[in-house]
């Protein structure tokens, strides 16, 4: 067999699995849509959708609309999450890092033992993690200080059947009425609650445990081994990837201009301001994605430690 035919076979095998997985996912999605549409023809299901239209009543005192700080938080969260996913994947898949970083054992953080040398990719990932956590702390404080928490924390048990109703409506492609300026549907509410109060803390707790700062013979290994943290951390990353894909898809498919104005321009109209800010944020994030390489990371990392090959 010639070299060209071998390389052709390798290329074919490389593309075969993704094509099969994509085709399988499309078939499953089509079946899901057809089943959901059939279910909606049944009288008990129609009654269920009438009793539970997809959203719960908001608690008294819930603020209306989105303040400007929430728009900034939304952008920063998106920015950090995208780069955290990128750098985390590099840490997981890179076998020969392009450079290494060693922390300066001076200033605010001092340790008895010499600092460990880590890859430049891991330094970037941990730096982004720290900025994301800081931004998250600010977000949580403002969330509860302004009452915005009432929009994403379940306060009534009927949120669960309403979430099932909203899910069925999405699956049948006859989507629930959008009124995000005043009240999220129950599936949105539960998803945001899981993301903010479950997935994000899990990412932080497991990420801290995976840090190289822990001594190898630390007592924490007995009740919280690093292997357990790794088993949790990666699926949480997959959750965030799935959340971003679904979230962005639905934002664009359920009234893009209005939704983008909610999130980025803090108004409830159909102007192009929100889209313009969103487009600028995408360009900024794409530029950061491109610049996040050793050539540009080395000078910044050198300010905090020693970079070596």
The model's pTM: 0.85
The confidence score (pLDDT) of residue 103 equals: 82
Q: What is the mean pLDDT of residues 210-234?
A: 80
Decide: helix, strand or coil at residue 62: coil
C-alpha to C-alpha distance for 97 and 309, rounded to whole angstroms: 9
C-alpha to C-alpha distance for 292 and 80, rounded to whole angstroms: 12
**Between 229 and 212, the higher pLDDT residue:** 229
Residue 270: pLDDT band with limits 50, 70, 90: confident
Decide: helix, strand or coil at residue 174: coil
The confidence score (pLDDT) of residue 11 equals: 52
The confidence score (pLDDT) of residue 8 equals: 53
pLDDT digits (tens, 9 = 90+) for 21-66: 788 888 988 999 999 999 999 999 999 999 999 999 888 888 988 9
C-alpha to C-alpha distance for 287 and 299, rounded to whole angstroms: 17
Could you give the strand order of the β-sheet that contains 100-103, starting from the edge strand earlier in sequence? 117-119, 100-103, 305-308
pLDDT digits (tens, 9 = 90+) for 67-83: 999 999 999 999 999 99
Decide: helix, strand or coil at residue 280: helix
Residue 225's contacts (CB-CB under 8 Å, 6 or more residues apart) are none
The confidence score (pLDDT) of residue 195 equals: 95
pLDDT digits (tens, 9 = 90+) for 90-124: 888 888 888 888 888 776 666 666 777 888 998 99
pLDDT digits (tens, 9 = 90+) for 167-205: 999 999 888 888 888 899 999 999 999 999 999 999 999
The confidence score (pLDDT) of residue 222 equals: 81
The confidence score (pLDDT) of residue 12 equals: 56
The confidence score (pLDDT) of residue 6 equals: 52
The confidence score (pLDDT) of residue 24 equals: 84
- Distances from the Cα of 279 to the Cαs of 73, 244, 291, 292, in angstroms? 16, 16, 18, 20
C-alpha to C-alpha distance for 3 and 188, rounded to whole angstroms: 53
């Amino acid at each position: 067999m010639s070299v060209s035919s071998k390389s052709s076979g390798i290329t074919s095998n490389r593309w075969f699995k993704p094509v099969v997985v994509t085709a399988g996912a499309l078939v499953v999605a089509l079946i899901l849509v057809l089943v959901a549409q059939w279910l909606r023809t049944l009288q008990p299901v129609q009654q269920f959708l009438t009793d539970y239209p997809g959203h719960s009543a908001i608690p008294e005192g819930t603020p209306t609309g989105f303040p400007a700080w929430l728009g900034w938080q939304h952008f920063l969260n998106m920015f950090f999450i995208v780069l955290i996913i990128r750098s985390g994947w590099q840490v997981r898949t890179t076998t020969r890092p392009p450079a290494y970083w060693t922390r300066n054992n001076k200033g605010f953080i001092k340790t008895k033992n010499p600092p460990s040398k880590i890859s430049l990719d891991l330094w970037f990932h941990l730096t982004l993690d720290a900025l994301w956590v800081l931004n998250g702390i600010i977000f949580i404080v403002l969330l509860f200080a302004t009452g915005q928490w009432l929009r994403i924390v379940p306060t009534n048990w009927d949120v669960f059947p309403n979430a099932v109703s909203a899910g069925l409506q999405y699956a049948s492609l006859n989507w629930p009425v959008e009124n995000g300026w005043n009240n999220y549907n129950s599936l949105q509410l539960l998803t945001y609650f899981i993301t903010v109060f479950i997935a994000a803390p899990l990412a932080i707790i497991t990420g801290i445990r995976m840090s190289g700062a822990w001594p190898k013979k630390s007592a924490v290994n007995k009740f919280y081994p690093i292997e357990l943290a790794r088993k949790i951390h990666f699926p949480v990353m997959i959750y965030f990837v799935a959340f971003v894909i679904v979230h962005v898809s639905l934002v664009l498919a359920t009234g893009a201009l209005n939704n983008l104005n909610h999130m980025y321009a803090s108004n409830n109209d159909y102007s192009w301001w929100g889209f313009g800010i969103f487009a600028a944020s995408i360009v900024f994030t794409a530029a950061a994605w491109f610049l996040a390489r050793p050539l540009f990371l080395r000078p910044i990392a050198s300010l905090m430690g020693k970079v070596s090959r």
